[in-house]
Amino acid sequence: MIEYIKSIVYGIIQGLTEFLPVSSSGHLAVFQNIFGSVGVPEVTFTLLLHVGTLAAVLLVYYKDVWELIKSFFSVVGKIFTGKFKFKNLNDGEKFFCLLFIALIPLVIGALLENAVEFLSGYTFAVGILWLINGVVFILSENAAVKQKQLDEIKPSDAFKVGFFQLFAILPGISRSGMTITGGVLHGFKREFAVKFSFILSIPAILGSTLITLLKDWEAINFGDSTGIILAGVAASFISGLAAIKLLQYITNKHNFKVFAYYCFAAGVIAIGYDVVTRFII
């Protein structure tokens, strides 16, 4: 029973923190450092938790995803017929191109991810990165940037937003938080920055899943833990839906400083726990 409880708790953490800008990797790292693993095949469990959150964002934004699929074919058609000019594209086609451009820096992230993976094992380091995450939010909230309409957003803006995602390879730095912050700092309206971040997470999660499959194909197995793993996946899906809706509500009603304060508190607690367990207990 304890394994089911752990699986569900980790699924909830993954779902909530994948989309709320507080770092899912940081939360999972700290909880695993404190409470240990679930006791199931780790690669399979982690991969399927991401699949659960992917299903959540696909469900919420299925209309936008369908429009992006159609825009992909229309953009490809214009490229092959020599009619492609970014300024002449419709809104759906521009949105697709901006998303595609924002994904390019993730290639660098995929190459660097293994180099920083060891930080997940150090609760103190995750705590420091949480504090940095909170500072970034405070600075972005206080930045005065002119908001742009979709027609005014340049491909270079999307590319720079994509670079903000690279910081999220560090446990404690939020992917959604960095993407939203990058968007706001480059003139995206907050509502558009949130939508851009969520939809950008679809290919990001798919890419990460594919890389995991290619690297650790032989490690993908359920063993005797199918029910335990599926309980976590269901929890990540449901909590992912809740997180998306919550962030949409906060975007419309409040600013993001509440997440900065949360990151400060989480960072202090993580650092305090690490210091106590290393030097006092």
Check residue 5 and report its DSSP letter.
H
Question: Residue 146: its pLDDT value, please?
Answer: 76
Average pLDDT over residues 23-30: 84
Question: Residue 218: its pLDDT value, please?
Answer: 65
The answer to whether the beta carbons of residues 203 and 50 sit under 8 Å apart is: no
pLDDT tens column, 241-277 = 999 998 888 887 667 788 899 999 999 999 998 888 8
Nearest to 53 by CA among 173, 179, 176: 176
Question: Residue 277: its pLDDT value, please?
Answer: 85
Question: Residue 217: its pLDDT value, please?
Answer: 66
Task: Please spell the DSSP secondary structure of 155-224, one letter per residue.
Answer: HHHHHHHHHHGGGGGSTTS-HHHHHHHHHHHTT--HHHHHHHHHHHHHHHHHHHHHHHHHHSGGG---TT
Is the model's pLDDT at 234 over the cut of 90?
A: yes
Q: How far apart are CA 273 and CA 277, in angstroms?
A: 6
258: burial class by Cβ within 10 Å (0-12, 13-18, 19+)? exposed
Average pLDDT over residues 202-229: 76
Q: How confident is the model at residue 52 (pLDDT cuts 50, 70, 90)?
A: very high
pLDDT tens column, 115-173 = 787 888 888 999 999 999 999 888 887 776 778 888 889 999 999 999 888 888 888 89
Q: How far apart are CA 13 and CA 171, in angstroms?
A: 14
Residue with the bigger pLDDT between 221 and 133: it is 133
Q: How far apart are CA 233 and CA 136, in angstroms?
A: 31
Q: What is the pTM of this model?
A: 0.86
Average pLDDT over residues 46-68: 91
